[in-house]
Structure 1
């Protein structure tokens, strides 16, 4: 073989090897045979053409087809079955709702309440001692502060002209120059009403003398003059009247007393706000107070039943229980200090002010406080009308440690008072709930306040010098209750849980507990 032939043979073998390395593709004619590519495909990939599938589209039934199907017996039976099931389900739910309503306990009807039953009354017997301006205008400027305490009424005065033991100069309709002017009094009423505070005027005739209705003059004469004055003060917008010594006029001239009551308490129309008649007596016997309260027909009667020296827990329990059993709860009034007797802190001791605040706010009835009782104001050595102390919001500079401590104590006492007043104004069990005694001894007292399905409250106080452990049991009580407010914030922390079967109350301390309606 020649060299040229050997070269040609090698070229053929090389061409065949190159073709084997080329990728194979399907024949474009569709016969499935592999053909050599034109050199555009690499790495052994094969191009396969798959025919596209047509997208299917759901069209549903036409109107005519639906009508034909809907009329078939199977669909008719199905529709009737679904309709019956719907109405059976609806009637079942209705029956269930009716059963729940029928089986649920009925809410008790609310007792008849008046505005003075919803919060404390606040007495300012001498307007000169209440503010720096020492008049009615200064009292008006402090209305915002009283509004923060949630007081329902401001008992003002007496402010009329009445020199001591001198009936000839008595003038019910004239405002004493020491108190201010009639225009200032009108301004006070308008400002107080804007804050939802009512104004009650003390019209005790001989308020600076030895006997409220004069001892050397006919009560008939004074009562007749008072009737005319009541009409005048009603026209000025007062919301009620307070009178001391009501037992004398009610017993000596009952017909005139009936007229006085009618003028004050007759409200004319149902939409007109009721006016209050408050009586004041020095009597301290619960039996005498109950009889007087019912015989005079006053709306509230202030008395000395809680003022007797050395009262024990058992004494308190007996007084409260007797008056609760013999009087309407909405007629009960609790107060210790007043214009003639002085302030709470001086009567019970400065360390027991909060304890007695809790008592008066949680007993059944209306609490009545003397001005300054909310901060523990004490009487002066020679006067029962000390100047009111007003602490600014920010602590003044330059106060020594003693003055700082006194200021902080006043603010703390006021906060405690305000918290109790807030609770008294919104909790039905405290407003008009049943009073249930739980425990009493010489040093301690505990009771339960309940109303229908509202939150229940337990108040416990200890006047003694040693801690007491109270074992409180009653069908209404759970095993444990929560602390709502306490004078001993270290031992009885707010929102902590305590065991009612072994409740420990420290010396000179008080606690208010609460628990929900148990059904």
Structure 2
């Protein structure tokens, strides 16, 4: 009963450019989020995570920040932001902002000063190095968005490092002045009522002090993204990053009831170290292990159990199945399996994070070359790295542009919007949206699903079965991951069971001991 709100809560990611446009310019805005709060309350989520809204040249759609303490006019202004914060809290929700501390825009005043001369006081705020003896880059580090991670700056004769676009120079987090300035950024937003932060690429903040070459990746294949060519042994995930994160956590803890979330794409053994010493790191190091998982019961069971076993004492688990950088769930695993994925996400132990539109079963939208917005796709065309397909506008109703905008949307709306939208699915008692609302309602009414323990009961015959238990309450989740009907026989100690919910949203009057599962069906049962 003493759990934090971020342990009990459900997070919902809003990509603001694509959620709701209110001024007809085709780009979503803060007022649009405010106008849709009733929908989020009815869905049942607890916290809204908003992707970057800071002033930006938009080379990477807001992840190139030119002012950490401002609002980009495309999204609104501080008056709108303050109204949004007030209304979010009035609705009983929390607000989490994206924080992008690894790099700034090259138009940020800090970088303009840093690049003005080698002896500028802010020179050491970024990562500058002399050329190699042959005049080339200082080492072999590559950019996530293709090419060398080093950009030569002719006026000062040195290279600066950028893990992403050349327009996104990396800050030097070994510099205490940088740390203090960024700590003050966190304080600025928390004073305005922000309840926490999702920290972008938190495992990148510290690089190898000796700038050693990254080793080649033996698994790299022609046609893979260039950033897979090397293993990031020295350009990321350095031991010295953990005191840096502990510093961020201390600042967040200066304000009551706040949360620090870290974006971390690492194997689970490395991921869990980001909880920090004595849990003084990120409250929730984002766990993406399910995103790349196959659909086999044994594979999923192993992922879940390995993660549970790796958690440090007191570390709270979390699960993510989709976000703005990954293909949508329904496209990744198939629309027929998407309801099972929703049931899995909302019944595992730990904090779930949903991505806008996944509750509708939205799929990736093919983007014509002429409409491409993602700089990664522009830099590496033709190999399938575009993130535009999963960032398309939210589908609200069957009116033009799905009710997202009265103008021309910044990305094309899905062709299926007339059938797959909030208004239509809201009226369908067996829709994907209805299922998510029922799942969240069930989670709320059963403490075992919110805070209970986890135990795998079976992963045989492509049926994943697990038990959530708290005090006297026991809830069993049974997921048929095969493409055929299956029967699961309850263990003897669970023979008395009452079905609570099926992904089919029809009468789940199945009490055992044999639980018959239709193709692609999941069932939640209460053990009596």
Q: TM-score, normalised by structure 1?
A: 0.68
The alignment status of 1:482 with 2:482, answered yes or no, reads no
Specify which of 203, 209, 229 is matched with residue 99 of structure 2.
203
User: What's the offset of the Cα at 1:425?
Assistant: 1.9
Residue 140 (str. 1) matches residue 34 (str. 2): yes
Pairing of 1:458-469 with structure 2 (within 5 A)? 458-469=476-487
* Structure 2 unaligned regions, length at least 5: 23-27, 106-143, 146-162, 207-238, 368-387, 403-415
Contact 2:30 2:84 in 1 (8 A): yes
Choose from 248, 273, 283 the match for 1:260: 248
Q: 1:404 to 1:181 in 2, by over 3 A?
A: closer
Which whole-Å CA distance do the structure 1 matches of 2:81 and 2:63 have between them?
24
Question: What aligned pairs does 1:43-442 form with structure 2 within 5 A after superposition?
Answer: 110=1, 112-125=2-15, 127-133=16-22, 134-163=28-57, 164=59, 170-205=66-101, 206=103, 210=145, 211=163, 216-220=170-174, 223-249=179-205, 251-267=239-255, 272=256, 274-283=257-266, 285-294=267-276, 297-327=281-311, 331-382=316-367, 383=388, 384-391=390-397, 406=420, 408=424, 411=428, 412-441=431-460
Bigger-Rg structure (1/2): 1
The CA deviation string for residues 32-72 of structure 1, in whole angstroms up to 9 with x for no partner, is xxxxxxxxxxxxxxxxxxxxxxxxxxxxxxxxxxxxxxxxx
Cα 1:187/1:439, change in 2 over 3 Å: same
> How large is the Cα RMSD of the aligned pairs?
2.9
Say which is worse superposed, 233-242 or 306-315, in terms of deviation: 306-315
Corresponding residue of 1:498? 511
Cα contact 2:459–2:465 (8 A) shared by 1: yes
Q: Gapped runs of 5+ residues in structure 1?
A: 1-109, 397-401
The CA deviation at 1:376 is: 1.1
Shift of 1:345: 2.0
CA-CA distance at 1:193 after TM superposition: 0.3
CA contact (8 A) 1:335 1:368 kept: yes
Alpha carbons of structure 1 residues 474 and 302: separation in structure 2 relative to 1, 3 Å = farther
Distance 1:325-1:255 versus aligned 2 partners, 3 A rule: closer
TM-superposed deviation, 1:361:
0.9
Whole-angstrom distance in 1 between the partners of 2:38 and 2:456: 37
**Contact 2:476 2:524 survives alignment (8 Å):** yes
Summarize the Cα distance change of 1:439–1:364 in structure 2 as closer, same or farther, 3 Å threshold.
Answer: same
Cα deviation, residue 299, structure 1: 1.1
Greater length-normalized contact order (CA 8 Å, ≥ 6 residues apart): 2
Q: Which residue of 1 aligns with 2:491?
A: 473
Number of equivalences: 385
**SS state of the match for residue 325, structure 2?**
coil
Tell me which residue corresponds to 2:523: 511
Residue 405 of structure 1: how far off its partner (Å): 5.4
Q: Report the CA distance shift for 1:227/1:158 in structure 2 as closer, same or farther (over 3 A).
A: same
Counterpart Cα distance in 1 of 2:64 and 2:489: 61
Please give the alpha-carbon distance, in whole angstroms, between the structure 2 residues aligned to 1:371 and 1:282: 21
The whole-number CA distance in structure 2 between the counterparts of 1:442 and 1:131 is 43
